[in-house]
Structure 1
Amino acid sequence: MIYTITFNPAIDYVIKIENFKPGKINKSKEEYIFPGGKGINVSIVLKTLGQETTAMGFIAGFVGKEIEEQVQKYGVKTDFIKIENNNSRINVKILEENKGKNGNTEKEETAVNAKGPYIDSKYLELLYKKLEIIKNEDTLVLSGSVPNGVSSNIYEKICQRLENKNIKIVVDSTGELLLKTLKYKPYLIKPNQQELEEIFGIKISSQDEALEYAEQLQAKGAQNVIVSLGSDGAVLLDENGYSYKMKALNTKNAINTVGAGDSMIAGFLAGHEMYNNYEKSLQMGVAAATATTNTLFLATKEKIEDVLNKFK
Structure 2
Amino acid sequence: MSSFTLHVVCPNPALDRLQVVEQFHPFEVNRVTTVRTLPGGKGMIVARGARRLGATVAAYGFLGGASGEVIRRGCADLGISDRHVEVTGETRVTPVVIERSTGRSTVLNERGPEVTALDTDRLLAVLASEVEPGDVLVSTGSLPPGSGADLHARIARTALARGATVLVDAHGDALAGVLDDLRAEPAAGRFVVKPNAEELAGVLGRPLPDRVATGDAIRELHADTGATLVVTLGADGAVFFDGAVELLADTPTVETVNATGSGDSFLAGLAVALGGGEPPATALTLAAAMGAANAASLTPDIDPELVARLRQVVTVEQVGPVRR
**Same fold by TM (over 0.5)?**
yes
Partner residue of 1:94? Answer: 97
The answer to whether 1:191 aligns with 2:191 is no
Provide, for residues 80-134 of structure 1, a one-character-per-residue CA deviation record: whole Å limited to 9, x for no partner.
Answer: 11113x311111111235xxxxxxx445422222222111122112112102221
Partner residue of 1:180? Answer: 180
Work out which structure has the larger RCO, using CA pairs closer than 8 Å and 6 or more positions apart in sequence: 2
Counterpart among 259, 265, 269 of residue 267 in structure 2: 265
**Aligned 8 A contact 2:239 2:248 in 1:** yes
- Are the structure 2 counterparts of residues 302 and 150 from structure 1 closer, same or farther at C-alpha, using a change threshold of 3 Å? same
Counterpart among 225, 232, 239 of residue 228 in structure 1: 232
Matches of 1:255 and 1:181, distance apart in 2: 38
Matches of 1:92 and 1:287, distance apart in 2: 27
Q: Per-residue deviation at 1:191?
A: 1.4
Name the count of aligned residue pairs. Answer: 302
Ranges in structure 2 where 5+ consecutive residues have no aligned partner = 316-324
Counterpart among 91, 97, 121 of residue 125 in structure 1: 121
Q: Per-residue deviation at 1:155?
A: 2.1
Q: 2:82 is matched by which residue type in structure 1?
A: T
SS at the partner of 1:140? strand
Q: 1:260 is matched by which residue type in structure 2?
A: S
Matches of 1:254 and 1:165, distance apart in 2: 40
Matches of 1:173 and 1:293, distance apart in 2: 21
**Aligned 8 A contact 2:103 2:259 in 1:** no
Counterpart among 291, 303, 307 of residue 300 in structure 1: 303
SS at the partner of 1:213? helix
The answer to whether 1:254 aligns with 2:251 is no
Matches of 2:110 and 2:21, distance apart in 1: 21
Partner residue of 1:152? Answer: 149
The answer to whether 1:41 aligns with 2:45 is yes
- Are the structure 2 counterparts of residues 53 and 261 from structure 1 closer, same or farther at C-alpha, using a change threshold of 3 Å? same
Q: 2:148 is matched by which residue type in structure 1?
A: S
Partner residue of 1:60? Answer: 64
The answer to whether 1:16 aligns with 2:20 is yes
RMSD between superposed Cα atoms in Å: 2.0
**Aligned 8 A contact 2:49 2:302 in 1:** yes
Moved over 6 A (4+): none
The answer to whether 1:244 aligns with 2:240 is no
Partner residue of 2:138? Answer: 141
Q: Per-residue deviation at 1:5?
A: 0.8
Identity among equivalent pairs (%): 24
TM-score, length of structure 1 as denominator length: 0.90
- Which residues of 2 match residues 108-123 of structure 1 at below 5 A? 108-123=104-119
TM-score, length of structure 2 as denominator length: 0.86
